[in-house]
Amino acid sequence: MLEGYPGPEEVYPAFRDFIGGATLVAHNASFDIAFLAHEMGRLGMSLPIRYVCTLRLARMRLPGLPDHRLETVCRHLFGVLPGGIGRHRALDDARLTARIWSALAEY
């Protein structure tokens, strides 16, 4: 699937430049941050980053849910998943995470 696309040695420096000093928001951020830190470390790069985890936030603010998966939290907060959302697709997961972050920030 990745044949013909830029490799890690090009992608990770560009990603680090893109995020700059921003705070990342992710659902189960510790997994994503650990993955990024490991892969960037293989290239001799560090990952100085701040992040917010919507999974942790959901566990704190919505303790009564049966689980805190992205879809479960979204359904709890909004009633249904937005139309056209594919499960476990990067952009769709990012959109759901953004909606959850916005909602939980005001919770």
C-alpha to C-alpha distance for 59 and 78, rounded to whole angstroms: 17
Domain boundaries, position 37: 8-105
> Beta-carbon neighbour count of residue 105 at 10 Å?
12
Give pLDDT tens digits along the chain (107 positions).
889 999 999 999 999 999 998 999 999 999 999 999 999 999 999 888 899 999 999 999 999 999 999 999 999 999 987 777 777 788 889 999 999 999 998 87
Side chain identity, residue 34:
A
- Confidence at residue 101, expressed as pLDDT on a 0 to 100 scale: 96
Known active-site residue 88: yes
Is residue 100 one of the residues assigned to a domain?
A: yes
CATH number at residue 95: 3.30.420.10
Comparing CA positions, the residue from 101, 87, 99, 89 lying closest to residue 56 is 101
DSSP single-letter state for residue 82 = P
Is residue 79 one of the residues assigned to a domain?
A: yes
Is residue 63 one of the residues assigned to a domain?
A: yes
Is residue 2 one of the residues assigned to a domain?
A: no
Is residue 1 one of the residues assigned to a domain?
A: no
